[in-house]
Structure 1
């Protein structure tokens, strides 16, 4: 399988539960990409919509619960970022159903870029806060 993206150590937060879920998100995007590459467009769309969509919702809920538990000061902003992604994802799903494969691939690449940017910047901020709090 030719992965679109590999979840490397540089994207790990050092928080096991988050790292496992983030790796799972990347794996699911890679699976969607592979299904599309194999010409299984309908299966790719269903997987993207249902499996990945449900996992994203579950992950964001878990992450927000964790951030509440550590009293993360930027929690409300983090929730807004998640809410905006959920809205964009929900709007994207019907668009890619009728789009050609190139547009589907671009949507997949854009989703990858958002997730990787979110993990690499936004989530790393809460990880830094968490580990600094552990030292106190």
Structure 2
């Protein structure tokens, strides 16, 4: 799978959330890099932990923002975030059992999930976000 690249169509209109998304893309790309270079399982594990720690930070910030604008689908959005954590834990376990196969699966899954989530789920709140925050949306 190709490296992930930020495009303007991924913007939700809030600089901090867009910056988080860019950082998440970068961390998924870093995972791809260490897997491609056949780095040690410890290195791959560290990158995955860094990615998930940042994802936790981002999910909390995003969910707070969605609470602020009274996003009607917040519970579902939080559930999707929670499911990702469970899926990554399962992928990490598979990786420990078979690093060669597990690492490719991890990157493919995370790349696909992140792109679908930003372009699909996150775009669902964009209009409400811009409506509620208006010109302040870029802060």
Tell me, yes or no, whether TM beats 0.5.
Answer: yes
Partner of 1:28: 27
Q: CA deviation at 1:112?
A: 0.9
CA RMSD, 1 decimal: 1.5
Q: Secondary structure at the match of 1:40?
A: coil
> Do the aligned partners of 1:5 and 1:26 also contact (CA within 8 Å) in 2?
yes
TM-score, with structure 2 as normaliser: 0.87
Task: Supply the distance in 2 between the matched residues of 1:102 and 1:92 (Cα, whole angstroms).
Answer: 10
1:42-57 paired onto structure 2 within 5 Å: 42=41, 43-48=43-48, 50-57=49-56
Q: CA deviation at 1:60?
A: 0.7
Partner of 1:99: 98
Task: Supply the distance in 2 between the matched residues of 1:41 and 1:4 (Cα, whole angstroms).
Answer: 20
Instruction: Count residues with an aligned counterpart.
Output: 132
Partner of 1:118: 117
Q: Secondary structure at the match of 2:18?
A: helix
Q: Secondary structure at the match of 2:5?
A: coil
Q: CA deviation at 1:131?
A: 1.2
> Do the aligned partners of 1:7 and 1:23 also contact (CA within 8 Å) in 2?
yes
Partner of 1:132: 131
Q: Deviations over 1:1-24 (max 9, x none)?
A: xx6111222212121111000110
Task: Supply the distance in 2 between the matched residues of 1:90 and 1:20 (Cα, whole angstroms).
Answer: 25
Task: Supply the distance in 2 between the matched residues of 1:93 and 1:106 (Cα, whole angstroms).
Answer: 10
Task: Supply the distance in 2 between the matched residues of 1:85 and 1:57 (Cα, whole angstroms).
Answer: 10
Structure 2 unmatched ranges of 5 or more: 135-139
Q: Go from structure 1 to structure 2 and tell me whether the alpha carbon gap of 1:4 and 1:102 turns closer, same or farther (over 3 Å shift).
A: farther
> Do the aligned partners of 2:11 and 2:18 also contact (CA within 8 Å) in 1?
yes
Q: CA deviation at 1:95?
A: 1.2
Structure 1 unmatched ranges of 5 or more: none
